[in-house]
A and B are shown apart, each in its own frame.
Chain A
Amino acid sequence: MINLTQEARIHLDKYLNEVRTSLAGCSVDVDDILGDINDHIESELHDLNEPASFDQLDEVLKRLGDPQQWVPPEEISSWRKMIQRLRKGPEDWRLAYLAFALLAVSIYINPERFFLWIRLLAFPLRAPLWLGEILLSYPSQTILLLASFILARAAIAASRNPHDLRGQKWLLYPPLIVTYILLLIFLLGFAPLAMLAFWAPKYIAELKELASGLHNSQSARAKATITSITIAATGLWWIILGVLSIPRPHYVRVVFRPFAEWFGRKHAAILICIGLLLLLISLLIINE
Chain B
Amino acid sequence: MDNRFFDNWATQVRKGMLELCILNAIKGTSLYGYDIVRKLRGIEGLVISEGTIYPILSRLKKEGLLKTTIKESTEGPPRKYYELTDKGTTILNAMNDYWTDIKTGTEKLKREE
> Could you tell me which A residues sit within 8 Å of B by CB distance?
1, 19, 23, 26-29, 32-33, 35-37, 39-40, 42-44, 46, 63-67, 69-72, 75
Contact = CB atoms under 8 A, between A and B. Distances in A.
Contact of B49 (A23, A46, A69): A69
Contacts of A28: 55, 58-59, 62
A33 B53 CA distance: 10
A43 B34 contact: yes
Nearest to B38: A43
A1 B77 contact: yes
B87 interface: no
Given A70-B54, A70-B55, A65 B48 contact: yes
B83 to A, nearest CB: 15
Contacts of A75: 59
Nearest to A60: B50
Nearest to B37: A40
Interface in B35-84: 37, 48-52, 54-55, 57-59, 61-62, 75-77, 79-80
A29 B80 CA distance: 14
Given A27-B62, A28-B58, A37-B51, 16 more contacts: A19-B51, A28-B59, A28-B62, A29-B62, A32-B61, A36-B58, A42-B77, A43-B34, A43-B75, A46-B75, A46-B76, A64-B49, A65-B48, A66-B49, A70-B52, A75-B59
Taking residues whose C-beta sits less than 8 angstroms from the other chain, chain B's interface range is 20 to 34
Looking at chain B's contact residues, is the secondary structure mostly helix, strand, loop, or mixed?
A: helix
Given A42-B76, A69-B49, A36 B62 contact: no
A27 B54 contact: no
Nearest to A23: B55
Contacts of B15: 72
B34 A29 contact: no
A196 to B, nearest CB: 53
A64 B47 CA distance: 10
Contact of A39 (B34, B49, B58, B61): B34
B52 to A, nearest CB: 5
Contact of A65 (B33, B50, B80): B50
Contacts of A33: 54-55, 58
Contacts of B37: 40
A75 B61 CA distance: 16
A63 B50 contact: yes
A35 B80 contact: yes
A92 to B, nearest CB: 15
A70 B51 contact: yes
Q: Which of B37, B55, B75 has the most A CB atoms < 10 Å from its CB?
A: B55
